[in-house]
A and B are shown apart, each in its own frame.
Chain A
């Protein structure tokens, strides 16, 4: 019979992820997606693993906690946000130890170990978010079956399958079906003769419609067994665990089928090695031969007691967890690659709130090939965690940046991935730089997105710098070359030499048009009398700006230094202020008789650029008259004026 079954398995469909491995994978990181129990209404103690839908959203159920402390259903969206989808209240179900299963239209299904009947139920949360109690197990009113520990499996027609650990015709558990019309069927009652008993795992359906599963106990050696129900509904015992049949005992997890039809699973106890007994990984090949793939040893320290089963990627690598053991004592995530090499991907650290501990559930692989699961305890609130081991997800597809930028500005760029990033895949693109003016960094592509735009903050540069950036993800690298320029290219004063009071303008020119928000330049003068604005902003998109320089008319000759400073450089220009002032006054003759006139001469220090007006005053204007002002013509350095005196008003010579 087993040869027949093995041949059938050869055509079994792959029931695991569709992720395609194209190259050897190296783990790039581990992270926690959620810490349960941080709030009083959050779920705690997830025994079940996670499910990931096609959009990348992660679902699961917590055995306890929630608004009524009776467990709940949760979701982590593609942006990584955690949502409470349903809180079990004891009337609609309670204490779900199994996880969530999707159908093709987005409805969620699961089971609870307790229900209004007291024997558990099957529930649905439809795509609109409405909760439905599909079936209450009740051996007295609705046929046999009690206490479902495993979740729901859906075949291609939409029928639901599962097991009950108790009840059934022999009170040793059973296999049930809810057809698409909602009718409940008892497919098999465990416990007759040497049949298995106490099926803790659920049902696996292959593409031919055959059902597969395990029993925790029973079988020929009472240490559990592997069963199958064929297309015709006939039940078969595929393997009985025991020392005489290759080791292994008491499988809690169910069956996983690879693309070739081989069956895989774990036993929580036992092993082929008599010194072990901490569980093992087994395979039943398509020829019905039983193989011990790995024995867990507690002394290594290795993992121990794998409650969860095997997950297979399309490359044939196997993944799973051990609830106990490992270097941290909190269990492990393990991998057996296609070549049979075993390794730990993660050792959970017990006794610390920084990591989860004791994973009862197995591994889920998302579309990007990353692994996730849950721990029943540990985490920041010691309520368990959702963990994630990522391998990089979709590879980098493109990387581009602006070809140039000003030092101190933001460099615009974008990255795109070969596929959509998911919460399981951090979507992190590493960007390395050969110049610290643009520091190496990482860009996160949000979950569900295939790319993102970003702005890298550039540091200051004092000279033109060519920088090479390399973006990498998933072993694919792309480069971009960026030229960073100092902001200020030039600074000019016009005119550079002025007479006091004359207008002057400063002009700043940038190496590139100003970025968004404009380009701020601080101004200063080393001469307090020479006024400049404290700062000017080159408008966004513009390359230059002008500002006034004010020099009071009373200034004497001097050279003022005007400085312009941006984040990159400081440029300075000298402003030569040529003094213009009255340097001398004389009269001729210097002695005159009252009533006579004299000529006064006002002389400037240099020729006036334009008419320059000098004020005149006499000590005794009643006796000696002078004009109020004298204008020295442009380009002249002196001018004369007439001095008049009042005739014969004094009796003696008067020298003032």
Chain B
């Protein structure tokens, strides 16, 4: 997007790129856990969150097995956010996913939950 400065003798222009903030990466640590153990989620934005923060919706494939906050807000100026994920004890191993959703799209991360 051009911005132009001009006077009687000359005109000069420059370009500014304006982008919408969105999640570029959702990662989990660890990616395999024994049920009942906590997991850390990490969101990365493409640009610093705008003023007022940037809200990201989270969802889990098996909410009863893997619990995530419904939304998280990346603080203004921040480009990432860490959020907690809970797991429940289970009988078998389950491979499940966690998804972040914003105005641009979604990011998915997989998590394996093992039996004790």
The docked-state distance in angstroms from the alpha carbon of A520 to that of B22 is 78
> Looking at the complex, which one of A587, A594, A614, A620 makes contact with B7 (CB distance below 8 Å)?
A614
Residue contact B17 to A653, C-beta cutoff 8 Å: yes
> Looking at the complex, which one of B5, B21, B52 makes contact with A614 (CB distance below 8 Å)?
B5
Query: Given A585-B14, A593-B21, A643-B16, A651–B4 Cβ distance below 8 Å?
Result: no
In the complex, which residues 600-647 of chain A have their Cβ closer than 8 Å to any Cβ of chain B?
600, 602, 612-620, 623-624, 626, 630, 643, 645, 647
> Looking at the complex, which one of A590, A617, A626 makes contact with B15 (CB distance below 8 Å)?
A590
B70 within 8 A of A: no
Residues of B within 8 A of A24 (CB): none
The docked-state distance in angstroms from the alpha carbon of A362 to that of B47 is 129
B91 within 8 A of A: no
Residue contact A553 to B9, C-beta cutoff 8 Å: yes
Task: Write out, one digit per residue, whether chain B residues 1-24 have a CB within 8 A of any chain A CB (1) or not (0).
Answer: 111111111111111111111000
Instruction: Please give the distance in Å from A634's CB to the nearest CB on chain B.
Output: 15
Residues of A within 8 A of B39 (CB): none
The docked-state distance in angstroms from the alpha carbon of A617 to that of B5 is 7
Residue contact A592 to B9, C-beta cutoff 8 Å: no
Instruction: Please give the distance in Å from B71's CB to the nearest CB on chain A.
Output: 16
Q: Which residue of B is nearest A647, CB measured?
A: B50
A251 within 8 A of B: no
A528 within 8 A of B: no
> Looking at the complex, which one of A587, A624, A653 makes contact with B19 (CB distance below 8 Å)?
A653
Residue contact A624 to B15, C-beta cutoff 8 Å: no
The docked-state distance in angstroms from the alpha carbon of A593 to that of B52 is 13
> Looking at the complex, which one of B5, B10, B51 makes contact with A595 (CB distance below 8 Å)?
B51
Residues of B within 8 A of A617 (CB): 3-4, 6
The docked-state distance in angstroms from the alpha carbon of A615 to that of B6 is 5
The docked-state distance in angstroms from the alpha carbon of A624 to that of B14 is 13
Residues of B within 8 A of A579 (CB): 9
B43 within 8 A of A: no
The docked-state distance in angstroms from the alpha carbon of A158 to that of B3 is 117
B75 within 8 A of A: no
Residues of A within 8 A of B9 (CB): 500, 553-556, 579-582
Query: Given A602-B5, A651-B20, A651-B103, A593–B47 Cβ distance below 8 Å?
Result: yes
Residues of B within 8 A of A643 (CB): 3, 16
Residues of B within 8 A of A561 (CB): none
Residues of A within 8 A of B10 (CB): 581-583
Residue contact A654 to B17, C-beta cutoff 8 Å: yes
Query: Given A617-B3, A619-B1, A650–B15 Cβ distance below 8 Å?
Result: no
Query: Given A553-B9, A590-B17, A618–B3 Cβ distance below 8 Å?
Result: yes
> Looking at the complex, which one of B2, B17, B46 makes contact with A619 (CB distance below 8 Å)?
B2
Q: Which residue of B is nearest A626, CB measured?
A: B3
Residues of A within 8 A of B21 (CB): 593-594, 648
Residues of B within 8 A of A600 (CB): 3, 5, 14
The docked-state distance in angstroms from the alpha carbon of A617 to that of B13 is 9
Query: Given A556-B9, A585-B13, A596-B51, A650–B3 Cβ distance below 8 Å?
Result: no
Instruction: Please give the distance in Å from A573's CB to the nearest CB on chain B.
Output: 24
Q: Which residue of B is nearest A653, CB measured?
A: B19
The docked-state distance in angstroms from the alpha carbon of A655 to that of B15 is 8
A591 within 8 A of B: yes
The docked-state distance in angstroms from the alpha carbon of A554 to that of B11 is 11
Q: Which residue of A is nearest B77, CB measured?
A: A596
Task: Write out, one digit per residue, whether chain B residues 21-32 have a CB within 8 A of any chain A CB (1) or not (0).
Answer: 100000000000
Instruction: Please give the distance in Å from B77's CB to the nearest CB on chain A.
Output: 9
B48 within 8 A of A: yes
Residues of B within 8 A of A437 (CB): none
Query: Given A580-B9, A650-B20, A620–B1 Cβ distance below 8 Å?
Result: yes
Q: Which residue of B is nearest A632, CB measured?
A: B7
Instruction: Please give the distance in Å from B96's CB to the nearest CB on chain A.
Output: 29
Residue contact A500 to B4, C-beta cutoff 8 Å: no
Residue contact B50 to A613, C-beta cutoff 8 Å: no
Instruction: Please give the distance in Å from B62's CB to the nearest CB on chain A.
Output: 30
Instruction: Please give the distance in Å from B55's CB to the nearest CB on chain A.
Output: 11
B49 within 8 A of A: yes
A234 within 8 A of B: no
Q: Which residue of B is nearest A592, CB measured?
A: B18
In order of increasing CB-CB distance, the 8 nearest A-B pairs are A656-B1, A653-B19, A581-B9, A619-B2, A595-B50, A581-B10, A591-B17, A593-B47
**A–B Cβ pairs within 8 angstroms, 23 of them:** A500-B9, A554-B8, A556-B9, A582-B7, A585-B13, A590-B16, A592-B19, A593-B48, A594-B21, A594-B50, A596-B50, A602-B5, A615-B5, A615-B7, A616-B5, A617-B3, A618-B1, A619-B3, A647-B51, A652-B19, A653-B18, A655-B18, A656-B18
Q: A612-B7, A615-B7 are in contact. List 19 more A-B contacts (CB 8 A).
A: A501-B8, A582-B9, A583-B12, A585-B5, A586-B14, A587-B3, A587-B16, A602-B12, A614-B7, A615-B6, A616-B3, A616-B4, A624-B16, A643-B3, A645-B18, A650-B18, A651-B103, A654-B18, A656-B15
